[in-house]
Amino acid sequence: MKLHSKIVGEGKPFLILHGFLGMGDNWKTLGNAFSEKGYQIHLIDQRNHGRSPHSEDFTFEDMAKDIREYCLENQLENIILLGHSMGGKTAMFTACDYPDLVDKLIVADISPRYYEPHHHTILEGLNYLNSREPDSRKDADKMLSEFVKEQAVRQFLLKNLYWKEKGKLGLRMNLKTLTEKLENISAPLPEGKRFSKETLFIKGEKSTYVPETDTELIKKHFPTAQIEVVKNAGHWLHAENREVFFEGVMRFLL
């Protein structure tokens, strides 16, 4: 599968993987900041997201293969791989399945364990919006507000809007597969998968995604893992406290 990406800067290849219902463009500001430090940043749309192809196959194994294929196509090796949330799981699978490809791994606010699916209401709202084909972003926001109360979350989701035709907005992601295969993104990293190169787990202080009790499991799969906390940030740590997140990643890389 030929993934869509935006490439910024020159230097050591540094791939960034967005979370569920996101896209590479969500990381544009941080991508530019990393590129200024001498890295070639690849802001990737994972399958069924953004401008990348749609597929009924949607597992972390599939997404890890996509990253390997992307690296082969673009002749990338010894990559830095950063993933947030679902993208963090994809990054874990990629590093464990293709360790020769990855030089350093950065996982943002997710751990290798199973997570209970919890995006049902958001997907219900997005499916409702998509079926109504709103004629303005304001109209789309009003529709989605019936399902998603937090304005910041709605703004993030509505970045997926595009003009299907004059007067009709739609959503870029593959809602059908993402809705039907939601359970797949809850999957844990299977027993026995390990990546022993340098790894950073970076989590939001206010987030519940990576509690202290996950440390043992993280170290089991990633024996060299460092764990850092971003103060005054929740699950969206890279947006809520961008500067501290950036500094934490740069300390790890240098």
The angle formed by the CA atoms of residues 84, 104 and 4, to the nearest 5 degrees, is 50
DSSP conformation class of 60:
H
* 163 Cβ neighbours under 8 A, 6+ residues apart: 169, 170
85 in active site = yes
**Do 199 and 220 touch, CB atoms closer than 8 A?**
no
Question: Any idea of the CA torsion for 231, 26, 142, 207, to the nearest 10 degrees?
Answer: -20
DSSP structural state of residue 254: -
The 8-class DSSP code of residue 234 comes to -
User: Is 145 tagged catalytic?
Assistant: no
Structural tokens at position 62? 């599939």
Of 4, 51, 52, 9, the C-alpha closest to 30 is 9
- Active-site annotation holder among 49, 84, 235, 238: 235
**Catalytic residue chosen out of the listed positions 42, 49, 84, 85:** 85
Place of tokens 């950036």: 246
Buried-exposed string 153-187: b where 16+ CB fall within 10 A, e elsewhere: ebebbbebbeeeeeeebbbbbbbebbeebbebbeb
Known catalytic residues are: 85, 235
